[in-house]
Amino acid sequence: MGFDRNLKIAPSILAADFANFGAEIEAVEAQGADWIHVDVMDGHFVPNLTFGPPLVKAIRKHVGTVMDVHLMIAPVDPYIEAFADAGADILTAHVEAGPHIHRTLQAIRGAGMKPGVALNPGTPAAAVSEVLDLVDLVCVMTVNPGFGGQKYIDMTAKVRELRAMIGDRPVHIEIDGGMDPKTAPEMRAAGADVLVAGSAVFKGGSVSNSAPYGENIRAIRTACDTLV
Ligand code: DX5
Ligand code: ZN
């Protein structure tokens, strides 16, 4: 996976059928998904629970693109090896998840994955200024993490600031939360290249009727191409 700043849509399987992840992933990739975004929640760092490394490992063989794993857990370090073993390509930890994000990001790289760092809406861009040389991705949350389908919180100024801070570094800017054809273009224009979308991609479709997934993905892409 070479680095580029082309627009990438990363459907979040949080909005997929939990009883059918393998088929959902294959369907959404066939419909044009660039990456697959996997939300891991622990009921402690965020007020919701999803799944852990065994599930991630089980779905790995259904992912033909990039498996982008977003950890909403604290602590992170005890689970890094398990997510490496599960086959995560990118492993993103929250800067708020503990006092030693620098060590965590080094450990993720050391385990053979690409490290990402995520920021909650209440966290300033400056919180990641000292780790930009350690990461492949900065994830800007545009909702308070924990649930899909929430209302987008405008983080345009933070994204612009991060884009300037990142400069020429090969670091993706990912936006997570409330992305749809209305909210995505301003994030793209501000410098984001990866847009996570759960509800906006999976709505109206299913494994047996996956054409809406493609229409939904294209609607986000077209909105960004038109307005940027
Ligand atoms: C929120 C998750 C998101 C979520 C996005 O805590 O990190 O990835 O699934 O869902 P939508 O696109 O529905 O806001
Ligand atoms: Zn996420």
pLDDT at residue 167, as a whole number = 98
Closest residue (by CA) to atom 9 of ligand 1? 148
Per-residue pLDDT of the chain (228 residues; tens, 9 = 90+): 689 999 999 999 999 999 999 999 999 999 999 999 999 999 999 999 999 999 999 999 999 999 999 999 999 999 999 999 999 999 999 999 999 999 999 999 999 999 999 999 999 999 999 999 999 999 999 999 999 999 999 999 999 999 999 999 999 999 999 999 999 999 999 999 999 999 999 999 999 999 999 999 999 999 999 865
Phi, psi (deg, nearest 5) at residue 104: -60, -45
Predicted pLDDT of residue 103: 98
- Give the pLDDT of residue 2: 86
177 Cα: distance to centroid of ligand 1 (angstroms):
5
Q: Is 22 exposed, middle or buried (0-12, 13-18, 19+ CB in 10 A)?
A: middle
List, in sequence order, every beta strand (DSSP E) within the chain: 8-11, 36-41, 67-72, 90-94, 114-119, 137-141, 172-176, 194-197
Q: Which-ligand-closest: CA of 148?
A: 1
Q: Which residues contact residue 78 at a Cβ distance below 8 angstroms, ignoring those fewer than 6 apart?
A: none
For residue 209, the CA-to-ligand 2 centroid distance in Å is 24
**What Rg do the C-alpha atoms of the chain give, in angstroms?**
16
Q: What residues are annotated to the active site?
A: 39, 176
Q: Name the residue of 92, 137, 141, 196 whose CB sits within 8 Å of the most ligand 1 atoms, as the mutation to test its pocket.
A: 196
Residue 83: closest CA among 64, 56, 106: 56
Report which protein residue has its CA nearest ligand 1's atom 1. 145
pLDDT at residue 227, rounded to an integer: 65
* Alpha carbons 224 and 140: distance in angstroms, whole number: 18
Q: Is the CB of 118 under 6 A from ligand 1?
A: no
Full-model pTM:
0.98
Angle separating helix axes 53-60 and 21-30, nearest 10 degrees: 50
Q: 195 has which bridge partners? A: 9, 175
The type of residue at 112 is G
